[in-house]
A and B are shown apart, each in its own frame.
Chain A
Amino acid sequence: MKWITARRRHPLAGYVVVLLALAVFGVGYALVAPSADRAEAQVMAAAQTGAEPAGGETVDIAQGRDIWERSCASCHGLNGAGSDNAPDITGAGGAAVDFQVSTGRMPSSNPDAQMPRKEPAWDREEIDNLIAYYEQEIGQGAGPAVPEEPPGDEPVRSDYEDEDAYEEAKASYDEAYDAYINGASDTQAGMQLYLANCAHCHSWSGAGGGLTGGHWAPQITDATPRQLYEAMLTGPGQMPVFTEGTVTPDDKQELISYVKTLQAEPNAGGIFDLNRVGQVAEGFIAWTVGLTLIIACAIWITAKQRAHD
């Protein structure tokens, strides 16, 4: 206490107090604020209690119908023709359903706002059942179907009964993934396609960017090759459609390969990559870390005045 009393009139005391207070509030907020991950985890847990173990070969259209009627029809209508809240999706295609549901966008929690990516509400098998129901009853073949070639979600351990089955599925997934990514060999084509068509919204690194009217182009680094493909096929939200005519399947593969390879690229320049935000982050660090440290040193070396100075 004495230590504090002696220093509380120090010229820097005020700053120290403010900094401490900020730190306390910052840490406190981080602890108290509901984290998005946790909230999603709860939804997941609720969704999964009814889930069946994976591995079933046959499609369960009845389950698909069940999901549709309980979770989608309220907005899109029983026959998918839309409502005041939601668009007609009869022509959207299985690719759109797969994209929207597997990225967690649908079921939407707020029809007026752009949905962020989150954990999907159902597991792979249930989503497949939903798509099967959609294709049979609602879309009836209209719109693009789910592209089978680009690899989709990575296998999840909880969907498999034992470790071996999971390992096996994972190994064959990795093989398919590598085959798809390495199947594209023309980096130049992929790069030019990406930089000419996508980068002005999703930025050069895929980190995303702001758009007008409260919308944003999300980060695309979590998307699987199949989701990337589906995004191009269906043009969700503000994003334009890139049909198989404008960007051919081979070009799409080159583009996806470019995105995924760039993302996997190690940061050769140092362990801190500043999230690849680039110059704004660099300038921020130059001022707050670089120059600040140097000025602190200047204050230190000029502060001590020895008698024989």
Chain B
Amino acid sequence: MSTTTQAPKALRGVGNWIDDRFHLAKTGEKNLRKVFPNHWSFMLGEIALYSFIILLVTGVFLTLWFNPSMAHTTYEGSYQRLNGVEMSEAYASTLRIDFDVRGGFLVRQIHHWAALIFVASLVVHMLRVFFTGAFRKPREINWLIGVGIFTLAMLEGLFGYSLPDDLPSGMGVRILQGVMLSLPVIGTYVSMFLFGGEFPGEDIIPRLYMLHILLIPGILLALIVAHFMILWHQKHTQYPGTGRSEKKVVGTPMFPGFAIKAGGFFFFVFAVIVALSAFVQINPIHLFGPFTPTAITSGLQPDWYMGFMEGSLRIFPNWLDFQIFGYAVPIGVLVPGLVIPGLIFGGLAAWPFLEQWITGDKRAHNVADRPRNAPVRTAVGVAGVVFYGILWLAGANDILSHTFSISLYWTTYFFRVAAIAGPIIGFIVAKRICLGLQRRDRETLEHGYESGTIQQLPSGEFIEVHKESSQETVHVLESKAAVDRIDDEAIASVEESESDGVEAPAARGLKGKLRAKLAHWYTKDNVSFEGVEAHTGHHLHHGAGHEEHEEMAGSH
């Protein structure tokens, strides 16, 4: 592992030739030598990039044949079963893509599988950034851009799903309209505006089409470019380890090492998506049939990334709806359809700033946190994941109920309770696990690792021999800040006010007090590594010191 590399001779020749003419060496060398940390979790964002590229290419292919029109037509085409059925041009042209355009069916399926993988990779990428604290200064802007990409990607998928005008499309659009209508006062206007009249009207598909192929992909592309430019400028974070510091990045240089890996990885992503598309049927619009407003069916869901909204609509009770001046305020739609998603995305966007405010940590961070070393953040993240996961499952409650022969009502009650209790349990469990891991880390740091070798001492006592950890491990373990409260001023103020009753300036006022309390909550349980030095523990050299052991665990 070195931080520099020497390009092969042949390449250097070509490089010099180009450089004599374009003088690219300065910028070029800097960029080609750019170092990428070697860890799989840094590749998650790339999955998103590659599937987005696949979406762009296949999407352009689809636009060549797709006709975004709601004009009525009677189908006469290669798909026998639906001959003579009335449908919209949009649906008919999607059937044409499936059955008359060479390769059309495959491309449609690639487009759809890539969409599912795209949003899934955004989620895992985002979780990686969250749990390692990679959103901290100086990367807050990129985090915000990420939240934007995620939100738009969901909308993009929803609108794309609505285009073919098949049965699930229509049902999805109807739910969308229902949520819009729940907006107090402006609901009906918004709906009339978007649909150009009553549901479903003739305008909605052309409008969604414009959003789906032009506006949202354009914004997404711009955001993705900005995301990468900022990343390029700031460089990746890296996990702690030997030679890695806030100032120095260790990894594979952009060229040739990383470029080859990334290129190969693109083809792998592409291969997986195409293999799925070739063998696994997705969104069989020809089986669903065209949307008709009288149709209602069970067993249809939105794509997975809208599942949490579906779930929140399904389990939210309707007891809270009320009327005011004759206008219905459907809390049962408004809250689960808009407020809860708003809270999830708003919370995601606000978290870096909230955390910064609580901890008072305004320093720049280039070394990623190990999730266990930020137990409250990790626990909040887990609580969020559990909440999202429960809503997501609830969105499939009819399928779960039928597949596992569980009563439908029972799933609803279960998910209602779980949506509240689950995150709390998740929080507590995750935090306990983090603290346990911290304790183990401290022990490993002090005493080395358990070698698995049992020795009998002359006194007859059996001990397990501890061995010194590798240099790398020690560096990783030492990356944990000895004391976690970074904001000395806030601590001082809390301590002062506790000792002499005089409030320090930072802790004054309601906001100051709240903040001091939150800061305390955020760090109070952390295992202190203060004064811990690698391999200074006693039982490295002689017998097991149980008393000492217990005393340490109880000393905080």
A298 touches B47 (CB 8 A): yes
A267 touches B284 (CB 8 A): yes
A192 touches B292 (CB 8 A): yes
A297 touches B268 (CB 8 A): yes
Complex interface: chain B residues within 8 A of A276 (CB): 284, 287
Task: Judge whether B505 is part of the interface by a CB distance below 8 angstroms.
Answer: no
Chain A 205-247, CB-CB to B under 8 Å as 1, else 0, gives: 1011111111011000000000000000000000000000000
A301 touches B304 (CB 8 A): no
A303 touches B40 (CB 8 A): yes
A209 touches B268 (CB 8 A): no
Task: Judge whether B486 is part of the interface by a CB distance below 8 angstroms.
Answer: no
Chain A 253-272, CB-CB to B under 8 Å as 1, else 0, gives: 00000000110010111111
Closest to B408 in A: A210
Bound form: Cα–Cα A186–B83 in Å? 9
A309 touches B281 (CB 8 A): no
Q: Given the interface contacts A268-B98, A286-B120, does A297 sit within 8 Å of B304 by beta carbon? A: no
Bound form: Cα–Cα A210–B410 in Å? 11
Min CB–CB distance A27 → chain B (angstroms): 20
Partner of A282 from the list B116, B269, B278 (CB cut-off 8 Å) is: B116
Complex interface: chain B residues within 8 A of A284 (CB): 304
Complex interface: chain A residues within 8 A of B288 (CB): 204
Task: Judge whether B84 is part of the interface by a CB distance below 8 angstroms.
Answer: yes
A290 touches B297 (CB 8 A): no
Task: Judge whether A79 is part of the interface by a CB distance below 8 angstroms.
Answer: no
Residue total for B at the interface (Cβ-Cβ under 8 A): 77
Task: Judge whether A285 is part of the interface by a CB distance below 8 angstroms.
Answer: yes
Complex interface: chain A residues within 8 A of B396 (CB): 280
Min CB–CB distance B413 → chain A (angstroms): 12
Task: Judge whether B295 is part of the interface by a CB distance below 8 angstroms.
Answer: yes
Task: Judge whether B191 is part of the interface by a CB distance below 8 angstroms.
Answer: no
Q: Given the interface contacts A201-B298, A290-B273, does A282 sit within 8 Å of B283 by beta carbon? A: yes
Q: Given the interface contacts A207-B299, A209-B298, A286-B116, does A298 sit within 8 Å of B286 by beta carbon? A: no
Bound form: Cα–Cα A241–B168 in Å? 27
Closest to B303 in A: A279
B402 touches A210 (CB 8 A): yes
Q: Given the interface contacts A199-B296, A279-B300, does A294 sit within 8 Å of B402 by beta carbon? A: no
Bound form: Cα–Cα A207–B402 in Å? 9
Min CB–CB distance B2 → chain A (angstroms): 8
A261 touches B81 (CB 8 A): yes
Closest to B296 in A: A200
Bound form: Cα–Cα A203–B307 in Å? 18
Q: Given the interface contacts A187-B84, A195-B292, does A211 sit within 8 Å of B281 by beta carbon? A: no
Bound form: Cα–Cα A271–B282 in Å? 11
Partner of B299 from the list A9, A209, A282, A295 (CB cut-off 8 Å) is: A209
Min CB–CB distance A257 → chain B (angstroms): 11
Bound form: Cα–Cα A94–B548 in Å? 85
Bound form: Cα–Cα A279–B277 in Å? 14
Partner of B39 from the list A214, A261, A294, A302 (CB cut-off 8 Å) is: A302
Bound form: Cα–Cα A203–B398 in Å? 10
Complex interface: chain A residues within 8 A of B2 (CB): 309
- Residues from 296 to 330 in B contacting A, C-beta threshold 8 Å: 296-304, 307
Bound form: Cα–Cα A289–B280 in Å? 11
A274 touches B280 (CB 8 A): yes
A213 touches B407 (CB 8 A): yes
Task: Judge whether B190 is part of the interface by a CB distance below 8 angstroms.
Answer: no
A interface majority secondary structure? helix
Partner of A293 from the list B109, B272, B282, B405 (CB cut-off 8 Å) is: B272
B303 touches A283 (CB 8 A): yes
Complex interface: chain A residues within 8 A of B307 (CB): 279-280, 283
Task: Judge whether B261 is part of the interface by a CB distance below 8 angstroms.
Answer: yes
Min CB–CB distance A273 → chain B (angstroms): 5
Bound form: Cα–Cα A272–B116 in Å? 17
A199 touches B298 (CB 8 A): yes
Task: Judge whether B131 is part of the interface by a CB distance below 8 angstroms.
Answer: no
Min CB–CB distance B117 → chain A (angstroms): 5
A203 touches B273 (CB 8 A): no
Q: Given the interface contacts A204-B300, A287-B304, does A280 sit within 8 Å of B268 by beta carbon? A: no
Partner of B295 from the list A192, A265, A277, A295 (CB cut-off 8 Å) is: A192
- Residues from 364 to 414 in B contacting A, C-beta threshold 8 Å: 396-399, 401-402, 405-409, 411
Min CB–CB distance A309 → chain B (angstroms): 5
Complex interface: chain A residues within 8 A of B268 (CB): 294, 297
A262 touches B287 (CB 8 A): yes
Min CB–CB distance B418 → chain A (angstroms): 18
Complex interface: chain B residues within 8 A of A21 (CB): none
Q: How extensive is the interface on chain A, given as a class?
A: 35 or more
Complex interface: chain A residues within 8 A of B177 (CB): none
Task: Judge whether A1 is part of the interface by a CB distance below 8 angstroms.
Answer: no
Partner of A299 from the list B40, B289, B452 (CB cut-off 8 Å) is: B40
Task: Judge whether B49 is part of the interface by a CB distance below 8 angstroms.
Answer: no
Bound form: Cα–Cα A297–B116 in Å? 18
Min CB–CB distance B219 → chain A (angstroms): 24
Task: Judge whether A308 is part of the interface by a CB distance below 8 angstroms.
Answer: yes
A210 touches B398 (CB 8 A): yes
Bound form: Cα–Cα A274–B279 in Å? 11
B304 touches A211 (CB 8 A): no
A200 touches B297 (CB 8 A): yes
A272 touches B398 (CB 8 A): no
Q: Given the interface contacts A196-B294, A213-B409, does A305 sit within 8 Å of B38 by beta carbon? A: yes
From A9, A204, A272, A274, residue with most partner B Cβ within 10 Å? A204
Complex interface: chain B residues within 8 A of A273 (CB): 281, 284
Closest to B262 in A: A301
Task: Judge whether B276 is part of the interface by a CB distance below 8 angstroms.
Answer: yes
Task: Judge whether B529 is part of the interface by a CB distance below 8 angstroms.
Answer: no
Bound form: Cα–Cα A82–B270 in Å? 64
B296 touches A279 (CB 8 A): no
Bound form: Cα–Cα A187–B264 in Å? 48
Q: Given the interface contacts A209-B402, A268-B281, does A301 sit within 8 Å of B264 by beta carbon? A: yes
Q: Given the interface contacts A270-B109, A289-B276, does A279 sit within 8 Å of B281 by beta carbon? A: no
B117 touches A290 (CB 8 A): yes
A309 touches B38 (CB 8 A): yes
Bound form: Cα–Cα A279–B398 in Å? 12
Q: Given the interface contacts A211-B408, A269-B109, A290-B120, does A278 sit within 8 Å of B40 by beta carbon? A: no
Closest to B42 in A: A302
B278 touches A188 (CB 8 A): no
Task: Judge whether B85 is part of the interface by a CB distance below 8 angstroms.
Answer: yes
Bound form: Cα–Cα A9–B449 in Å? 12
Complex interface: chain A residues within 8 A of B86 (CB): 188
Task: Judge whether B58 is part of the interface by a CB distance below 8 angstroms.
Answer: no
Task: Judge whether B474 is part of the interface by a CB distance below 8 angstroms.
Answer: no
A200 touches B298 (CB 8 A): yes
Bound form: Cα–Cα A303–B299 in Å? 42
Min CB–CB distance B86 → chain A (angstroms): 6
Name 11 interchain pairs, CB-CB below 8 A, sorted by A. Answer: A187-B82, A188-B84, A195-B167, A207-B402, A212-B408, A213-B407, A268-B98, A268-B105, A286-B116, A286-B117, A309-B38
- What 11 new A-B contacts, CB under 8 Å, besides A282-B283, A286-B117, A297-B272? A203-B297, A204-B167, A204-B299, A210-B397, A267-B281, A268-B286, A277-B299, A283-B304, A295-B44, A302-B39, A309-B38
Chain A interface residues toward B at CB < 8 A: 9, 186-188, 191-192, 195-196, 199-205, 207-214, 216-217, 261-262, 265, 267-274, 276-280, 282-287, 289-291, 293-295, 297-299, 301-303, 305, 308-309
Top-6 shortest CB links A-B: A283-B304, A269-B281, A203-B299, A210-B401, A199-B297, A286-B116
